[in-house]
Amino acid sequence: MQSPLAKKAERNKHSDGNGLVETDIVKTMSSQSAFDGQPAYLVELTNQAGMHVTLMDIGATWLSCRLPLASGELREVLLGMGTMDDFMRQTSYMGVTVGRYANRIANGSFSIDNKKYRVSTNQAGNCLHGGAAGLDKVRWNIVEQSQQHVVFSTVSSDGDQGFPGELTVSVTYSLTEQHGVTISYEATTTRATPCNLTNHAYFNLAGAATGTRCHQHRVKIAASQYLPTTDKGIPLGELADVEGSSFDFRDGKVLANDWMADQQQRMAKGYDHSFLFPAERETYLPVAEVISPDNKVRLNVITNKPAMQLYTGNWLAGTPKREGGEYRDFAGLALETQFLPDSPNHPEWPQPACILRPKETYQYFTTYQFEC
């Protein structure tokens, strides 16, 4: 059953360089059954300026983000799929809410209060984004919605994917009149457990259907440290200064400028690393900025999370695309605000504790603020 907001959703229009391709994403995404035999439930948020944000209960997923440009173009800036079949077979976590623990936990193993836990391993012997059946692979409940916000919720049972405690989670998407998309996360638990939630949207500010790669985007990140990793994305253990490296984005630069300039990038086939923000900072100020190659779209990232993973879509090839066909590597970039990867095994890192305990509330937000 579709919501009233979903039923009135307009047809998306995408320019692919060879004319317009029209896809009614609400219709196509809900015309096929999801994993539980029922169609997805979609919601479209709109503001008075004509920005459209489409969301789905499967994975509490951000499916589409269309910006009204001054030229009159309605530009889709989010990579995504157009059918449920494609969504269920993609492995790129496109637009989903990931957890319980975003990013990697080495060997799927950690200890809390001297008790060792082993959780689901689903990438090179490590736990990635919550394991084989994380929060991205469940149907969330829609508990509240309006024209400009929607609240998703779910309960992850004690022992789900090996994680301790019953985790109750809510994710709220809000759209402002100033073209800001705020994602707010709340969670509580019955037992001490790692909790690290994020959204895995891929952005291409030049237009998701243009076929351009992300290399010509200009990126700025307000971080003086990043986390070097192995070729499997597991932290080597020590934070490193960005000074003098290809990971220095403090003044902003085009991604292509230092592309594959060092061993850390070459092992990852691009950027797939976390940046740690200063502990003493004003959380209303942007921690990252991305500008489209044509300078028509600017994206500022504002968050109270301690770190952000920059991922340049290094392994997107073969992922189904909304307009038909498949994405190429580097078709978009992800800006995943989160705790540092493998934090349950590194309590010494200078960030808040990633272990959520009973009577505490996990409460974080990220705003993706667009200017166009």
Options 179, 200, 217, 273, the catalytic residue: 200
Q: Is 26 exposed, middle or buried (0-12, 13-18, 19+ CB in 10 A)?
A: buried
Q: Which of 44, 289, 323, 336 is the catalytic position?
A: 336
| Nearest partner of 85 among 32, 7, 125, 121, judged by Cα | 32
Active site residue 273: no
Cα 60 to its chain centre, rounded Å, is 11
Q: Kindly state the tokens that stand for 72.
A: 């009159």
Q: Do 290 and 248 touch, CB atoms closer than 8 A?
A: no
Residue type, 45: L
User: By the 8 A CB rule, do 263 and 231 touch?
Assistant: no
Q: Is 370 helix (H, G, I), strand (E, B) or coil?
A: strand
Beta-carbon neighbour count of residue 133 at 10 Å?
A: 13
Q: Which residues pair with 194 in a beta bridge?
A: 355
Cis peptide before 100, with omega less than 30 degrees from 0?
yes
Active site residue 336: yes
The angle subtended at Cα 305 by Cα 64 and Cα 273, nearest 5°, is 75
Task: List active site positions.
Answer: 200, 336
